[in-house]
Chains A and B, each alone.
Chain A
Amino acid sequence: DGGITQSPKYLFRKEGQNVTLSCEQNLNHDAMYWYRQDPGQGLRLIYYSQIVNDFQKGDIAEGYSVSREKKESFPLTVTSAQKNPTAFYLCASSRDRGYQPQHFGDGTRLSIL
């Protein structure tokens, strides 16, 4: 079955630590996205990538970094510069940019130790 796999499901970060969230898709989609979801708020875009080796900042990129070395993979690193990282992180993909539906993984919940 085609889909998006996010891992781990739960992640704990210590102060001053960088952590990396994994996102893999086998839908052969060109575009991939990272969103942050906080209670009572809509999804906010962190980064997106339209093609391999290219990515763009979204609305809340500070304290985060990404890479897109393979079409299937779009990992997100939450750096120590992100002072309020506790949230539900969602990865999505779409066939390309434009009015394409976005397909989501089941998320990673990140908490501070």
Chain B
Amino acid sequence: QQQVKQSPQSLIVQKGGISIINCAYENTAFDYFPWYQQFPGKGPALLIAIRPDVSEKKEGRFTISFNKSAKQFSLHIMDSQPGDSATYFCAAYNMDSNYQLIWGAGTKLIIKP
């Protein structure tokens, strides 16, 4: 219950295509869901986040879709660019454990020119 399952582990997308990363959870105490982007040798940086009462949030080319009943959420990157090549982590705040951030295992995304 204390985990966020992320897939795929790695993803290769052609430039201009759509990248899709999926996450799922079981614990109903998880109630706020950020996505972080990490470049090699750097720390993660917040990309976008969503509350569970919202089904979709869009910021530029990045969109989070959220399905509360299925306990699933996903990140879509439209018009993917080589500069988007990075590792992406989904995460969830657990309000039952003092808002500890629970992390998915990460998806290494490569955008081919």
Interface membership of A110, Cβ < 8 A? no
Within the assembled complex, what's the spacing in Å between the Cα atoms of A107 and B42?
A: 7
Interface membership of A112, Cβ < 8 A? no
Interface membership of A54, Cβ < 8 A? no
Within the assembled complex, what's the spacing in Å between the Cα atoms of A48 and B101?
A: 11
Within the assembled complex, what's the spacing in Å between the Cα atoms of A106 and B42?
A: 4
* Segment from B13-21, B58-66, B68-76, B102-110 that makes contact with A: B102-110
Q: Mark B9-45, 1 if CB is under 8 A from A, else 0.
A: 1000000000000000000000010100000011111
List A contacts of B98 (CB < 8 A): 56, 97
Within 8 A of B (CB), among A26-65: 40-45, 48, 56, 58
B46 to chain A, nearest CB (A): 4
Within the assembled complex, what's the spacing in Å between the Cα atoms of A92 and B44?
A: 9
Decide: A97 near B99, CB < 8 A? Known: A40-B106, A107-B41. Answer: yes
Interface range on chain B (Cβ under 8 Å from partner): 20 to 34
Closest residue of chain A to B44 (Cβ to Cβ) is: A104
B43 near A105 with CB under 8 A, answer yes
A48 to chain B, nearest CB (A): 8
Interface range on chain A (Cβ under 8 Å from partner): 20 to 34
The one of B32, B46, B93, B103 that contacts A43, using a Cβ cutoff of 8 Å: B103
Decide: A42 near B89, CB < 8 A? Known: A97-B99, A98-B99, A102-B101. Answer: yes
List B contacts of A92 (CB < 8 A): 43
Decide: A106 near B41, CB < 8 A? Known: A42-B104, A99-B93. Answer: yes
B46 near A106 with CB under 8 A, answer no
Within the assembled complex, what's the spacing in Å between the Cα atoms of A56 and B91?
A: 20
Interface membership of B86, Cβ < 8 A? no
The one of A58, A98, A99, A106 that contacts B43, using a Cβ cutoff of 8 Å: A106
Interface membership of B55, Cβ < 8 A? no
A-B contact list, 8 entries, CB within 8 Å: A4-B43, A41-B105, A45-B100, A90-B44, A99-B93, A99-B99, A104-B45, A105-B43
